[in-house]
Chains A and B, each alone.
Chain A
């Protein structure tokens, strides 16, 4: 159960709008069903009262919206940040992607967000409504009546493997701050490393062949903020609109993961939005795991201005041949 309520957020936002601190509020707007909330911008108290929602499906990472929203505000834009969002927030600041002075950040504690696809799998199709009560989630369905699932089972993958309940950036914190969590987020990566090369190849062929190159992963990614992505740039030599074959599927995802390596905060948005359910976080986490193992633990976005591992070096760094071996001997 979330410890902050919609009313807490709305009243705080209204106060900040009223005292002139902010003139825009990034929040969530209700949809047709419980689970289809949409990020939106509020500029007055009435609209907030009418449309603002907050609940178990408000998982969108607002950090990236600040790139455009911070430019639109005359005063400041109010943003609510879950702990994991604050890492993206810092990483974007490190890369000078928005003006910190134009943002008023409220940290909100998070007990994890729910995954509608998991809920459908656990209960039934035809979900018309979802109520959360403590640790149990009641799902109203079209044909199978009400079903109950444990909240823990319905958590999104990224929340199951939450890396931190601690906010690393905010102007104001609602509720109590949490701790950095020693999560098991690399277990799945390790499991793939343990496979034989043939199994690994088959696993990724299966996953990446589903890609339809909708670019949702890229467009939602707070690390992918390039003015022009290389895949959209005819001069880059790798531009393509859709993967014509498995090579292009592989190339897109390798290059994308490489471009965010050392900058990816592991917010998990890419996997959340993938319409084809490709476990994209497993690519990013592989880089994070390698970086941690090869060059010492590094969490992108933990500190503003930190030097990312790929723009840093030690004279005694691991040789690439050793790195590859190590990746395999984890098996």
Chain B
């Protein structure tokens, strides 16, 4: 039996119009990315409440990534602009509290960027894996 390598748990919030479609395209093109990344579909990146991100960490996620349409391409015109401000402030605050900034990311992935989606997920997963388990924003009660 092989020693299983450490696989960080990662939640990826993808907007329905660009990034979720980008993820579909990655699948269409049979581009591989780690299975420890699970996608949650939201209508727009601006639907992602900071509470969801904290919730994910509480429930044992080691990294959270938000994917949305490129700025200017939001299906809802301006949703991702709000996302950008909200997450800039939230991530800055998390870093201020001493939580590793590498655990959170916002990436703009269009419906045409299947390759970018896969590459981003591979890279983010490796980045989070390098940090090891999330110890600074964890709720031990939720650990299995």
Contact = CB atoms under 8 A, between A and B. Distances in A.
* A–B: direct contact at CB < 8 Å: yes
B93 A294 contact: no
A193 B85 CA distance: 19
Contact of A319 (B72, B106, B138): B106
B140 A245 contact: yes
A257 B98 contact: no
Contact of A310 (B85, B93, B104, B138): B85
Contacts of A286: 92-93, 96
Nearest to B136: A201
Chain A interface mostly: helix
B80 to A, nearest CB: 9
Contacts of A323: 88-89, 91-92
Nearest to B140: A245
B105 A321 contact: yes
A324 B95 contact: yes
A199 B96 CA distance: 10
Contact of B58 (A247, A283, A319, A324): A247
Contacts of A309: 85
A103 B22 CA distance: 55
Interface stretch (A50-58, A106-114, A167-175, A248-256): A248-256
A327 interface: yes
Interface residues of A, number: 53
A315 B95 contact: no
Contact of A327 (B50, B92, B104, B137): B92
B140 to A, nearest CB: 6
A205 to B, nearest CB: 8
Contacts, number: 129
Nearest to B108: A319
Q: Which residue among B85, B93, B95, B105 has the maximum number of chain A CB atoms within 10 Å of its CB? A: B85
A203 B98 CA distance: 9
B84 A319 contact: yes
A313 B58 contact: no
A324 B104 CA distance: 10
Interface in B32-86: 50-51, 54-55, 57-58, 71-72, 78, 81-82, 84-86
A208 to B, nearest CB: 8
A250 B88 contact: no
A223 interface: no
A32 interface: no
Contacts of B88: 290, 294, 317-320, 322-324
B102 to A, nearest CB: 9
A202 to B, nearest CB: 7
Which 4 pairs of residues, A with B, have the shortest CB-CB distance? A201-B98, A313-B81, A323-B88, A200-B98
Interface of B: 50-51, 54-55, 57-58, 71-72, 78, 81-82, 84-101, 104-106, 136-141
7 contacts: A199-B98, A237-B51, A238-B51, A245-B139, A245-B140, A323-B89, A324-B95
Interface of A: 189, 192-193, 197-205, 230, 236-238, 244-245, 247-248, 250-251, 254-255, 257-258, 261, 283, 286-287, 290-291, 294-295, 309-315, 317-328
Given A254-B93, A318-B84, A324-B92, 12 more contacts: A199-B98, A237-B51, A247-B137, A254-B90, A257-B93, A310-B89, A315-B72, A315-B81, A320-B104, A326-B92, A327-B92, A328-B101
